[in-house]
Amino acid sequence: MKPDGLRIGLMVPANNTTMESELLAWLPAGSTCRTLRIPRGKGTLTPKDLPAYVGQAMETAAEFAGDSIDLVVYGCTAAGFMAGPSRDAEIAAELSEITRKPVVTTASAMIAALRHLGARNIALVTPYLDLVNERLRAFLEQSGIAVEILASFRAQTVDDLAAITPAQIAALSREVMRASCDALFIACSQLPTREILPDLERGFGRPAWSSIRATAWQAEQATRVVA
């Protein structure tokens, strides 16, 4: 990793107002972030929306091709896990070919971080609708991580999603966590979690991670490998 931090090219859904600031808060001091926003509709992302969304992402990514950045972050958790592990890896490879940069996806970072933590059985908090939650559970289970319990805000629109507060996330996290769970994971790069995770970890005595925290960690790992 460079001593002056990482230079990140971040790709997020157009509605995302959280990931850039929280990603930089988790990354080493001196890190920078250039953000590109992927066009999308007002509803939350569903499997039927995925092909169009990925197509928009590929078009948008071309803007990073000439940039002086260390890596690209594909920062929509749902767009990765709904595609499944194999397709998520293919999307990362396609984005890398377009941008000529290493690529980290938030979905793959979630798996890598949970494996790093030794978490095989987790409590999961999401904002997603039931169909999307089913895809997330399957994605995790295909990667060897069991979801013991899942709680969701079931946001219908991006406005509903943006209205979810850190206090609400912390309350639902405390409600869902079980003594039998190895860790708590909060999925979705729109959910603001930076200020609540340390207190949750202290209270649980076990790891409490989020999509954004996992992505920052994986970005550092990827940069070390490249270096």
In a domain, 148, yes or no: yes
Q: What is the pTM of this model?
A: 0.94
Alpha-carbon Rg for the chain in angstroms: 16
202: number of CA atoms within 13 Å, CB side? 5
Do 113 and 103 share a structural domain?
no
pLDDT digits (tens, 9 = 90+) for 28-78: 999 999 999 999 888 888 889 999 999 999 999 999 998 999 999 999 999
Q: How many separate domains does the chain show?
A: 2
* 31 and 24 Cβ atoms separated by less than 8 Å: yes
Give the pair of three-digit tokens for residue 132: 């999307």
CATH number assigned to the domain comprising residue 63? 3.40.50.12500
- Distance of CA 66 to CAs 35, 59, 96, Å? 14, 14, 13
In a domain, 122, yes or no: yes
Strand order in the sheet with 103-105: 32-38, 7-13, 71-74, 103-105
Do 63 and 146 share a structural domain?
no
